[in-house]
Amino acid sequence: MSDMMKVSSNPHIIDKVTTSSIMAAVMIALLPAAGFGVYNFGLNALVLIVVTVASAVLTEYIYEKLMKMPITIKDCSAAVTGLLLAMNLPASAPWWVGVIGSVFAIVVVKMLFGGLGQNFMNPALGARCFLLLSFTSIMTNFDVADVYSGATPLAIVKEGGTYNVLDMVIGRTAGTIGETSMIAIVIGACFLILIDVITLRIPGTYIVTFVIFICLFGGHGVDPTYISEQLAGGGLMLGAFFMATDYVTSPVTKKGQYVFGVCLGLLTGIFRVFGPSAEGVSYAIIISNLLVPLIERVTLPKAFGKGGEKA
């Protein structure tokens, strides 16, 4: 039989969505925030973004080449990691900090654990925490020549001060490149929700839990200004919509996603209210990342016909 047809197991049709299309969508969704960062902080922000993304992609390429593995940079996941890392850098950071961060994110956090899908914590956040510990002064220096100097709004709030909430929502504040503009981040997040890349389950529970926590323990009661400052300040929005929703490091079960959101909210609240630093999102996320296998195991769904048909 020379003209045999191709055979394979069912199904014989598949959806158009691919890993690279999802990653590309995430990058598009990050563009408003990145664009605002460049507008807000100037050219150095752009340089840092380009260098960080490029070095993340290049690192993955070189690593895979050296290890004689199939090259996977086409799936765009390294580019997303690079972009997310850049969003988490202060605009004043020198370019080589971006490079070191990217190399750490790709090699140590991602590839050494088996590459895409195997890393147990978000590579960009792992790298950010690594940089924070290694280059503390650079990573916490939010002075941008002629634009901003001194502390971030969240740090001011922590010291008992207040900040113009409108400026915080729009993003005209000091901070890392991509975290300052709540509006830009939410626009990107809405896009991802509309095209079914992320759901509100994790970010929604995260934010609600966090708000409840600071109302109870923040020392300001139910104070709308304080709550808005806490929501719009720091990395909460970027973390909730873009880092906590990272597929690889979040639970795959629906119930697990709610539990994960609650963990994030509690940890962020604890770090921000009781911790020495004003920030807490990065650590909250990477610690919760570590809980994911456990969360997933205890929240496995019930099968259809065994009580699981309704959810």
Partner 1 sequence: MAKLTFVGGIHPYDGKDLSKDKPIKAVLPKGDLVYPLSQHIGAPATPIVAKGDHVITGQKIAEAGGFVSAPIYATVSGTVKSIEPRRVVTGDMVMSIVVENDGQYDEVDYGAPEENLDNLTKEEIINRVKEAGVVGMGGAGFPTAVKLQPKEPDKIEYCIANCAECEPYLTSDYRRMMEEPEKLIKGMKAILALFDNAQGILAVEDNKPDACQKLEELTKDEPRITVSRLKTKYPQGAERQIIYATTGRAINSKMLPADAGCIVDNVDTVVAVYQAVYEKKPLMHRIVTVTGDAIADPRNFIVRIGTNYAELIDEAGGFKTQPEKIVSGGPMMGFALFGLDVPTTKTASALLCLTKDEVSAMEPSACINCGRCVEVCPSRLVPRRLAVYATNYAEENFVKEDGLECVECGCCSYVCPAKRPLTQVIKSMRKMQLAKNRKK
Give whichever of 150 and 305 is closer to partner 1, judged by the CB atom.
Answer: 305
Tell me the per-residue interface mask from 104 to 123 with partner 1, x by CB under 8 A, - otherwise.
Answer: -----------xxxx-----
Please report how close the Cβ of residue 194 comes to partner 1 at its closest, in angstroms: 16
Please report how close the Cβ of residue 170 comes to partner 1 at its closest, in angstroms: 32
Of 261, 162, 168, 269, nearest to 218 by C-alpha is 269
How many other C-beta atoms lie within 10 A of the C-beta of residue 147? Answer: 13
Does residue 9 touch partner 1 according to CB under 8 A? yes
One of 15, 68, 133, 276 touching partner 1 (CB under 8 A): 15
Tokens of 219: 């020392």
Please report how close the Cβ of residue 205 comes to partner 1 at its closest, in angstroms: 15
d(CA 228, CA 211): 9
Tell me the per-residue interface mask from 126 to 165 with partner 1, x by CB under 8 A, - otherwise.
Answer: ----------------------------------------
Residue carrying the six token digits 């690079």:
82
Tokens of 101: 């961060």
Does residue 7 touch partner 1 according to CB under 8 A? yes
Question: What is the DSSP-derived secondary structure letter of residue 199?
Answer: -
Contacts of 250 (CB under 8 A, 6+ apart): 202, 244, 257, 260, 289, 292
What type of residue is 94? Answer: P
Tokens of 210: 């966090």
Question: For the chain, what is the largest distance between any 2 Cα atoms, rounded to a whole number of angstroms?
Answer: 82
One of 138, 195, 252, 273 touching partner 1 (CB under 8 A): 252
Give whichever of 22 and 125 is closer to partner 1, judged by the CB atom.
Answer: 22
* Phi, psi angles (nearest 5°) of residue 140: -110, 10
Give whichever of 149 and 199 is closer to partner 1, judged by the CB atom.
Answer: 199
Does residue 310 touch partner 1 according to CB under 8 A? yes
Give whichever of 250 and 282 is closer to partner 1, judged by the CB atom.
Answer: 250
CB 73 within 8 A of CB 116: no
One of 10, 66, 68, 146 touching partner 1 (CB under 8 A): 10
Report CA 4 to chain centroid distance, whole Å.
49
Does residue 18 touch partner 1 according to CB under 8 A? yes
Which residues bind to partner 1, rule: CB under 8 A? Answer: 1, 4-15, 17-19, 21-22, 72, 75, 77, 115-118, 247-250, 252-254, 300-306, 308-311
